Chain A
Amino acid sequence: MNLLLSHNLALVLAIPAGAAVILAALPGYRLSARLNVLASFLTFLAALSLFVRHPPPDSYFLIDDLNIVFIVLSTFVGFTTSVFSASYIGHELETGRLTPTYLRFYHAMYQVMMFGMNLALVVNNIGLMWVAIELATLATVLMVGIYRTHEALEAAWKYFILASVGIAFALFGTILVYMSAQPVVGEGLQGMTWTVLVTRVSAFDPALLNVAFIFLFLGYGTKVGLAPLHAWLPDAHAEGPTPISAVLSGLLLNVALYAILRFKMLMSLNSHAMAPGPLMAAIGLVSLVFAAFMLYRRRDIKRLFAYSSIEHMGIIVFAFGMGGPLANFAGLLQMTMHSLTKSAIFFTVGHIAQVKGTQKIAEIRGLTETHPQLGWALVLGVLAIAGMPPLGIFMSEFLVVSSTFARAPLLAIVLVFGLLVAFGALLLRVQGFAFGEPAGSTAPVRASYVPIFAHLALVIVAGVFLPRLLVTWFQHVARMLG
């Protein structure tokens, strides 16, 4: 046990990497699906154990209070999604949308993606972080295109090109950070090691850092799905398998956000460099308002919730852009709650789309009558994501709004406007989904309700009562973010 504990960081990376190799070699989807769940669960346990003990930072890996939150959240959602995926994917095989060979590929890629994301979160080197995010992106691109329909390929291609451009910008920014660091910390690996950069950043050339941050924000911002660069996100969510939509929204966006936060910390430590906050807050607000209006015109249920992800990433980036302990706390909470809620919604939507055989909003009606569990889960999920009290997102949005009103009332008005517009759109849609005359197939569904309701339960509990431990942890991280 002690031995395992002392190598928990290695396990967080080794389990997905090893599982990917095994899953690529194993035929038979039942076994692979179970193995996928098992590997994801073990990774989650290893990540949890990082709370108990974690190795001191070295030149390659870094575990601090900030990234533990991200790692635990992403391995948890990775685990629950693998449970959902096990029940979802069997149905896809029955209907012939996937063949066993593709399924094998799918499971292997799932673990490759988990590996890439975990690696991006734990490395102490901005160059390696870039490579890891690229790896995770490649894996998701392949999975988005896995149905090989016309639309899926188109979506994968769009995602590929836009993400590649984003990745290229991020690399250019990374090179510029190194160039600004090199005269101060010297050549070689030092100039890309995060812990070294943080301690010496006050002496870096501020002009170069400014340009670097803009490239990094644009680059990783593409992957977060911020407004002018979001075009890939709805397509990728709508056309890929639903478990992938859930991990895209719940995890991959967060990983890119994590990269932005790291560089924001770097910027704020150099007193001569520009403040990154206003840029982030502005883009965040634009994403929020834009996505809120886009919610009204959607015809595809997965696209609808993809736009809702853009909206929420907008709020989160806005909160972190405002900065300060309270707004940062709200941003962290919002991020956690959004990941849990949005993946629960996608689990539900996945089963709904399977039973109805369509993703068209107009053809999904009266779910509470025909499939009460799914219908009510969707109602609950949408209420949560729209920010109804007493659910978790209400609390974090309330914190964002109230902290903004105190500091920048004009921005707060735009923020509240965006939130209300989105709220209206979501309520309008959920009425159609849940109530009224049932439409489409009423066949019973073999769904896995455990991940859906586990997530929703967590969101409800967090809305009513946040454990003291979590609050102090988040407060600490919020202060760290500055």
Chain B
Amino acid sequence: MHGLAFDVAHLLAGSLVLVSFMMLYQDRLYALLNTYALHAVVLSLSVGWQAYINAAPHLYITASIALLFKAIIIPLALHRMIVRLGIHREIETVASIGPTMLAGIGLVGLSLAVMLRVTADADLVAREDIAFALSVVLLGLLIMVTRRNAVSQVVGFMSLENGLVLAATGAKGMPLVVEISVAFSVLIAFIVIGIFLFRIRERFDTVDVQALDRFRGERR
């Protein structure tokens, strides 16, 4: 593996883990969304770099999906949703930041210990990517379990999914990567639309929206 090519791939994948950590301690919804957008930008750079060094042009599609859809459209849509629902207050986190960060460090240590050991003979870039990807996935899960708010849970899930895309593009020559990233985008779009259409507002706001619904004559 060419020295510089590997170093850049390593840098980008490592930055993704770092941005995941940044998401872990954001306690305001807007800041969380902005950090997520940064996460998606880093992912798209990383995937774009993979496409370049492996001469795999189809990965550029995945990279542009990450950039357009995940870094721009979804954060904007969620932004508007937050404004409309008027929930731009602090996020209630279950645990405080200190233990959460410690748990995050533990998870990253775990994933490096597991993945680097089992992939000893794999391709160098793939090996780094899969270890970092598992870290991002586990950190995404941690974000999901430490939040009670539907929007931040979705953001956690989306960061988790970014980790999966990193893993899929890191595995050399993996087929169906583009299809899978499209399938995931559809899933995410569904979730985001779902938040709005399903009107799961009791999760957003402790003000008794349920009572409002009943009052409006919505049949229960």
Q: Which residues of A contact B (CB under 8 A)?
A: 96-97, 125, 127-128, 130-131, 134, 138, 145, 148-150, 153-154, 156-157, 160-161, 164-165, 167-168, 171-172, 175-176, 178-179, 182-183, 186-189, 191-192, 205, 207-208, 210-211
Q: Measured between C-beta atoms, what is the minimum distance from A127 to chain B in Å?
A: 4
Q: Among the listed B134, B160, B219, which residue makes an inter-chain contact with A96, where contact means beta carbons less than 8 Å apart?
A: B219
Q: Among the listed B117, B121, B157, which residue makes an inter-chain contact with A164, where contact means beta carbons less than 8 Å apart?
A: B157
Tell me which residues across on chain A come within 8 A of B130, comparing CB atoms: 175-176, 179
Q: Measured between C-beta atoms, what is the minimum distance from A208 to chain B in Å?
A: 5
The answer to whether A192 and B137 touch across the interface, beta carbons within 8 angstroms, is: no
Interface pairs A-B: 7 shortest CB-CB: A187-B173, A207-B118, A127-B176, A189-B175, A153-B198, A175-B167, A179-B171
Q: Among the listed A145, A156, A161, A168, which residue makes an inter-chain contact with B137, where contact means beta carbons less than 8 Å apart?
A: A168
The answer to whether B200 and A205 touch across the interface, beta carbons within 8 angstroms, is: no
The answer to whether A175 and B164 touch across the interface, beta carbons within 8 angstroms, is: yes
Tell me which residues across on chain A come within 8 A of B219, comparing CB atoms: 96-97, 149
Cα distance A179–B115 when bound, in Å? 12
User: At the interface with chain A, which of B28-36, B87-95, B98-106, B186-194?
Assistant: B186-194
The answer to whether A211 and B115 touch across the interface, beta carbons within 8 angstroms, is: yes
25 contacts between A and B (CB under 8 A): A96-B219, A97-B219, A131-B180, A150-B220, A153-B199, A160-B191, A168-B160, A168-B161, A172-B164, A175-B130, A175-B171, A175-B174, A178-B171, A178-B174, A179-B126, A182-B174, A183-B122, A187-B173, A188-B173, A188-B175, A191-B175, A192-B176, A207-B120, A210-B118, A211-B115
Q: Which residues of B contact A (CB under 8 A)?
A: 114-115, 117-122, 126, 130, 133-134, 137, 141, 144, 150, 153, 157, 160-161, 164, 167-168, 171-176, 179-180, 183, 186-187, 190-191, 194, 198-200, 202-203, 210, 213, 219-220
Q: Measured between C-beta atoms, what is the minimum distance from A436 to chain B in Å?
A: 30
Smallest Cβ-Cβ distance to A169: which chain B residue? B137
Cα distance A280–B102 when bound, in Å? 32
The answer to whether A175 and B200 touch across the interface, beta carbons within 8 angstroms, is: no
Cα distance A168–B203 when bound, in Å? 23
Smallest Cβ-Cβ distance to B173: which chain A residue? A187
The answer to whether B121 and A187 touch across the interface, beta carbons within 8 angstroms, is: no
Q: Measured between C-beta atoms, what is the minimum distance from B136 to chain A in Å?
A: 11
Smallest Cβ-Cβ distance to B56: which chain A residue? A187
The answer to whether A183 and B121 touch across the interface, beta carbons within 8 angstroms, is: yes
Q: Measured between C-beta atoms, what is the minimum distance from A179 to chain B in Å?
A: 5
Cα distance A153–B134 when bound, in Å? 31
Cα distance A431–B200 when bound, in Å? 38
The answer to whether A165 and B167 touch across the interface, beta carbons within 8 angstroms, is: no
The answer to whether B191 and A165 touch across the interface, beta carbons within 8 angstroms, is: no
Smallest Cβ-Cβ distance to A97: which chain B residue? B219
Q: Is the interface of B mostly helix, strand, loop or mixed?
A: helix
Q: Among the listed B157, B164, B173, B175, which residue makes an inter-chain contact with A161, where contact means beta carbons less than 8 Å apart?
A: B157
Q: Among the listed A153, A178, A189, A207, which residue makes an inter-chain contact with B200, where contact means beta carbons less than 8 Å apart?
A: A153
Tell me which residues across on chain B come within 8 A of A96, comparing CB atoms: 219
Smallest Cβ-Cβ distance to B179: which chain A residue? A131
Tell me which residues across on chain B come within 8 A of A149, comparing CB atoms: 219-220
Smallest Cβ-Cβ distance to A145: which chain B residue? B198
Cα distance A189–B161 when bound, in Å? 22
Tell me which residues across on chain B come within 8 A of A157, comparing CB atoms: 150, 194, 198, 200, 203
Tell me which residues across on chain A come within 8 A of B114, comparing CB atoms: 211
Smallest Cβ-Cβ distance to A154: which chain B residue? B200
Cα distance A171–B177 when bound, in Å? 11
Cα distance A217–B114 when bound, in Å? 17
The answer to whether A156 and B198 touch across the interface, beta carbons within 8 angstroms, is: yes
Cα distance A191–B177 when bound, in Å? 13
Cα distance A134–B180 when bound, in Å? 10
Smallest Cβ-Cβ distance to B186: which chain A residue? A138
The answer to whether B190 and A138 touch across the interface, beta carbons within 8 angstroms, is: yes
Cα distance A148–B120 when bound, in Å? 50
Q: Measured between C-beta atoms, what is the minimum distance from A384 to chain B in Å?
A: 34
Cα distance A210–B194 when bound, in Å? 36
Q: Measured between C-beta atoms, what is the minimum distance from B40 to chain A in Å?
A: 16
Given contacts A97-B219, A208-B118, 5 further A-B contacts (CB under 8 A): A128-B176, A164-B187, A172-B137, A182-B174, A192-B175
Tell me which residues across on chain A come within 8 A of B194, comparing CB atoms: 156-157, 160
Tell me which residues across on chain B come within 8 A of A179, comparing CB atoms: 119, 122, 126, 130, 171
Smallest Cβ-Cβ distance to B219: which chain A residue? A96
**Given known contacts A150-B202, A205-B121, A211-B118, is B144 in contact with A165 (CB within 8 Å)?**
yes
Smallest Cβ-Cβ distance to B137: which chain A residue? A172
Smallest Cβ-Cβ distance to A190: which chain B residue? B175
Cα distance A349–B29 when bound, in Å? 43
